[in-house]
Structures are given as structure tokens and as C-alpha cells.
């Protein structure tokens, strides 16, 4: 018999640690997937109010609404371009003047509010012009959009 001990296998502990890590990774993925898609108990956040109102309209009404507001959007786009230029200059100014930036932010908020107000008025005019049956259909489409949640709009005719 030989007095020399059997050679040690240095790779065996490394293999066991790697195997354990892979098993934990697979278990974590399976558990995470099961928890994420846990059935119909999941609460779906409703979409934004404006987009839901818009996408529930028939396609022809959406097109008309866009056409009526295109002038406002074009003017707003030109003004935003100028405001971004002014903001860039205000951010680089030495010394920095927070009130100049605040004025630009307030100007943008006001412009956004004006466009939103015009959009609300046009939307209300369209809904007011609908028959009772058309408004009921619109309400049904709106409920469908709210159930589906944001960014899951079906294309409508």
C-alpha cells in the first residue's frame, strides 16, 4: 500500500457553488414570473383622462379634433422652440437667475393650459353634438379603454 493520500479535487467545491447559483437563479425566475402574472387579481391602473377621452372617440371625430387644433399646436411648437433656446441661455447665464427660468416654466405651463382648454372645448362641442345613442356608444368605448388600461387602445373606425 501506498502512503501518499489521494489527490484533492479542487474543482469540486467550485462546481457545487456554481450549481447552487444556477438553481437559485432558476427558482427566482420561476417565482418572480408566478408572482408577476398571478391571475386576474392584478389591479390595472386607468389610463390618463385626456387620452382615454380622445381614443374613445370615433376615428372621424378624432381626425376632426386634430384638424381643429392643428393651428394651436403649430403655434405652440414654434413658441416651445424659442422657449427652449431661452431656457438654454438662462441655464448657462452667469450668474444663474432662477427667476428667469421660473418665468419660462410659468410661460410653458400657461401655453399648455391654453391648448388643453381649447381641446376640452372642442371635445365638449363634439360630444354635445352626438345623439343619445352615439353618446351611449361613446361611453361604452370609454369604459372598454379604462378596463384595458393605458396604451392598449384598439384602432377604431
Look at residue 3 in the predicted model and tell me its pLDDT. Answer: 66
CA atoms of 90 and 73, how far apart (whole Å):
25
Look at residue 32 in the predicted model and tell me its pLDDT. Answer: 81
CA atoms of 75 and 49, how far apart (whole Å):
24
**Contact predicate 65/54, CB 8 Å:** yes
* Chain centre distance of CA 98: 30
Quote the DSSP letter at residue 42.
Answer: P
Look at residue 132 in the predicted model and tell me its pLDDT. Answer: 95
CA atoms of 21 and 34, how far apart (whole Å):
20
Look at residue 135 in the predicted model and tell me its pLDDT. Answer: 93
Look at residue 43 in the predicted model and tell me its pLDDT. Answer: 61
Look at residue 95 in the predicted model and tell me its pLDDT. Answer: 92
Regions of the chain with pLDDT less than 70:
1-7, 37-44, 73-76, 150-157
Q: Which residue has the cell 352626438?
A: 130
pTM for this prediction? 0.56
Q: Which residue, 127, 118, 7, 122, is CA-closest to 65?
A: 122
Q: Which residue, 66, 14, 51, is CA-closest to 152?
A: 51
CA atoms of 61 and 127, how far apart (whole Å):
9
CA atoms of 66 and 73, how far apart (whole Å):
9
Amino acid at each position: 500500500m501506498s502512503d501518499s493520500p489521494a489527490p484533492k479535487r479542487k474543482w469540486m467545491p467550485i462546481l457545487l457553488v456554481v450549481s447552487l447559483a444556477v438553481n437559485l437563479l432558476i427558482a427566482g425566475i420561476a417565482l418572480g414570473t408566478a408572482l408577476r402574472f398571478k391571475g386576474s387579481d392584478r389591479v390595472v391602473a386607468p389610463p390618463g383622462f385626456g387620452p382615454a377621452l380622445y381614443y374613445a372617440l370615433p376615428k372621424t371625430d378624432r381626425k376632426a379634433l386634430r384638424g381643429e387644433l392643428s393651428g394651436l399646436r403649430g403655434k405652440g411648437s414654434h413658441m416651445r422652440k424659442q422657449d427652449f433656446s431661452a431656457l438654454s441661455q438662462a441655464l448657462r447665464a452667469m450668474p444663474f437667475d432662477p427667476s428667469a427660468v421660473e418665468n419660462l416654466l410659468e410661460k410653458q405651463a400657461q401655453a399648455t393650459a391654453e391648448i388643453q382648454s381649447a381641446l376640452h372645448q372642442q371635445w365638449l362641442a363634439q360630444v354635445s353634438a352626438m345623439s343619445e345613442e352615439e353618446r351611449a356608444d361613446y361611453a361604452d368605448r370609454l369604459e372598454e379603454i379604462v378596463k384595458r388600461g393605458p396604451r392598449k387602445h384598439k384602432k377604431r373606425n
